[in-house]
Structure 1
Amino acid sequence: MDVLAWLRDSDPALRWQVERDLAGEPPGVWEATRARVATEGFGARLLARQDPDGQWAGGAFFPEGFQGGEAQPWTATTWTLNSLREWGLPASALRDTAALLAENSRWEYDDLPYWGGEVDCCINAWTLMNGLWLGADVAGIADWFVTHRLPDGGWNCDWVEGAARSSVHSTLNALKGLLAFETATGGTPASRAARLAGEEYLLERRLFRRLSTGEPIAPWVGEFSYPIRWHYDVLNAASYFRDADRPDPRLAEAIELIRSARQPDGTWLQTERHTGRVWFEVDAPPGEPSKWLTFFATQVVNWWDAR
C-alpha cells in the first residue's frame, strides 16, 4: 500500500497538511490546497452551518436548548471553531465572527462573555487558541492559566469543585493553549514557566504512567481516535511535544507505544468514535484505517526518528 498516496487522496483539510509535513511539497503547492478548505469539503460544509449571529447550533459549548439526557453534542460554536482552526481555515474566511461572538455568544456557565472564557481549563484553552486565531483579545485567559495551575504542575477542569490533583486531559489541553499563546505573542515569563511546568507533569509520567506505581494510567492512553475532542492519549500528547519541538528522552516509551499500533500496511486504526451529535463524519469508523490518525502518528514517528 502506498500510504502517502492514500493520505493525499483526502479532503483539503487533511491533504494540505500531508503535502506540507509528509510529502515535502513546496509552499506553493500546499498553500493552494489549504486555500480550498474554505470553499470545498469539510471546511465549506461547516462554514455553511454558521448562524447569522456568528454561532453554530445556537450555543457556545452546547447546542441551543440542550438539556442533557444524551451524549455530549459536538455541533456548537466552540467545537466547530476547533475543527475549522485545526483544519487550517484562514481566519479571513470567518470575516467578522470574532466580533459577532463578542456581541452575541455567552457561556452556559454563569452567562459569561465568550472571549473572556469561563472556569473549565479545556474550554479556556480552546477559547485562547480560537481567539488568537481570529484576532480576539484573549490575553487574560493566558494569565488565568498561570494563576490556576495546581501545585503538582498541571491543571484539572474540576478545580472549581475542589480537585487538588492535576488531570492529564486538562493539562494537555492547557499546554496546547499556552503554546499557541507563546507562538503568537512570545508569551510572558509567567506563561512560559507555567507551560514548562505542565510539560514536566506529563514527562515525569512518561505520558502514560502513574507517578506513584509506574503502571499505565488507564487502557485509553493507547486507544487513538479522531476527532480528538478533549480526550487524552499518548498520540495526542506526543503530537503536542512535536509541535513544541521538545524531543525529551522520557518520550521514548510512548513513541514506541504509538509505533507498535502501526498496522502491517503502514496505517493506524480508528479505535472508537466519541459518541454525540455531529454535523457530519470526517474519518473512518472504528476498526478501520484512519487517515487522520495515520497522518498524526507518521508525523510523530518521523519527527522522533529524525531528532
Structure 2
Amino acid sequence: MDELMGWLLDSDPALRWQVQRDLVGEPAEVWQATRARVGVEGFGARLLAAQGADGMWAGGAFFPAGFDGKEEGQPWTATTWSLNSLREWGLEPRVLHERRTVELLAAGCRWEYQDLPYWGGEVDCCINSWTLANGVWLGVDVEGIAEWFVGRQLEDGGWNCEWVEGSTRSSFHSTLNSVKGLLAHELVTGGSEASRAARRRGDEYLLERELYKRLSTQEAVGEWVSRFRSPFRWGYSVLNAMEYFRLAGVKDPRMGAAVEMIEDARQVDGTWLQGGRHPGRVWFEVDVGEGEPSKWLTLYALRVLRWWGS
C-alpha cells in the first residue's frame, strides 16, 4: 500500500491534495497547502493560462468558437468544460473572482442554443447541471436553474437531455449529471424542499435499477456501466455514480453489485486501468491512455471502497 500511495502522491496538485486528504489522512494544513497550488502550477495553471480576456475558454460556452460538428468526438475546450475541470480539481473560487470571470461571462458569454445568457442555463439537463454546480461554486445566483430541474423531472423520476425532442424515458447519463448538479447546489445553499425532493427521486431512479440494470429485463443497460473512463465528462459508469453517492452520503444495499464491479476491476498491483478517453479536442491530456494504470480512477475507486466499507 505504501508503494501505491507513493505512486498516487507523485502527481499533479489537482490530484495529490485529494490523495493526501482522503487516502493518506494528512493534516488539513498539508492538503490545503497542496490544494492552493492548483492555481499556480500544473493542470490548473495551464488551464487558467488558456482563458481569454473575455473570460471564456476557446471563445464559446459549450462548444469552441467556429465548431462545425465535423471533427471526431466532442470538443472539451470551451468554457463550461474548463470551469468543470477547475472546480473538480479544487481551484479556489477566489482565483476566478480576481479575473472577474463571473462578470465577464454574464456580460459576453451566450449559449449556442438560442443565444441564451450563460448564467441562466439553457435546455439541456447535463449542461444545466454543470452550470448549476459551477454557479454555486462561484457564488452566482443560479436558483432559477435549480427550480428548472424540478419542473423538468420525468415521470419515472429521472431526467433526459433529449426531453426537447419528446423523450419521456429517463437516461442514466442525464439523471446522474442532474443529481450531481442538484447536490452541488444543495451542499452550498441547502436547496429548497422541492429541489431536495427532486434529487432524492433521481437517486431512487438509479437505486431501483441497482445503478446498472434495465428495469424491464434486469440486464445491464450497456457495457459502459463497468467501463471506467477518466475524466468522467458526461459519461455514466457505476464508479461515477458511486462517487456521487459517496458525496451525497447515501449508502443502500442496492449498490452492492455496483461495488463488486468496482472491486473486480482492481488490478493485482492495486490500480485501476483507464477504460479509454472520451474522444475530442482537449487543451492537454490529464490522464493516461486506454489500458494504462490511471491515478485518477485509482483515487476514485479507493475512496469509494473505503467509504463503502467504513
Query: Please, what TM-score do these two structures have when normalized by structure 1?
Result: 0.99
CA distance in 2 between counterparts of 1:220 and 1:171 reads 15
Tell me the alpha carbon deviations over residues 50-101 of structure 1, each in whole angstroms, 9 at most, x when there is no partner: 0000000000000001111112100000000000000000001112101110
Identical columns (%): 67
Using the TM superposition, give the Cα deviation of residue 136 of structure 1 relative to its aligned residue in structure 2, in angstroms: 1.2
* Corresponding position of 2:113: 109
Q: Deviations over 1:143-192 (max 9, x none)?
A: 00000000000000000100000000000000001101110011110001
- Which structure 2 residues correspond to residues 187-202 of structure 1 after superposition, within 5 A? 187-202=191-206
Matched, 1:49 2:46: no
Could you tell me which amino acid in structure 1 is paired with residue 92 of structure 2?
P
How many angstroms apart in 1 are the aligned matches of 2:89 and 2:122?
Answer: 25
Across the two proteins, how many residue pairs are aligned to each other?
Answer: 306
Of 258, 261, 276 in structure 2, the residue corresponding to residue 257 of structure 1 is 261
The match for 2:87 is 85
Is residue 207 from structure 1 mapped to residue 211 from structure 2 by the alignment?
A: yes
Give the CA deviation at 1:4: 0.9
Structure 2 residue 76 is matched with structure 1 residue 74: yes
Q: How far off is 1:124 after superposition?
A: 0.1
Task: Tell me how far apart the structure 1 counterparts of residues 70 and 287 of structure 2 sit (CA, whole Å).
Answer: 26
Counterparts of residues 168-183 of structure 1 (less than 5 Å) = 168-183=172-187
Which residue pairs with 1:184 in the alignment? 188
Gaps of 5+ in 2: none
Tell me how far apart the structure 2 counterparts of residues 271 and 196 of structure 1 sit (CA, whole Å): 30
Correspondence list, 1:1-307, <5 A? 2-70=3-71, 71-94=73-96, 95=98, 96-306=100-310
Unaligned stretches of 5+ in structure 1?
Answer: none
**Local SS of the residue matching 1:22:** helix
Structure 2 CA distance, aligned partners of 1:259 and 1:98?
41
CA deviation digits over 1:31-55, x for unaligned, max 9? 0000000000000000000000000
- CA shift, 1:135, in A, is 1.3
Aligned-partner residue type, residue 13 of structure 1: A
Task: Normalising by structure 2, report the TM-score.
Answer: 0.98
* Alpha-carbon distance in structure 2 between the residues aligned to 1:182 and 1:228: 22
Provide the rounded CA distance (Å) in 2 between the counterparts of 1:222 and 1:192. 28
CA RMSD of aligned residues (A): 0.6
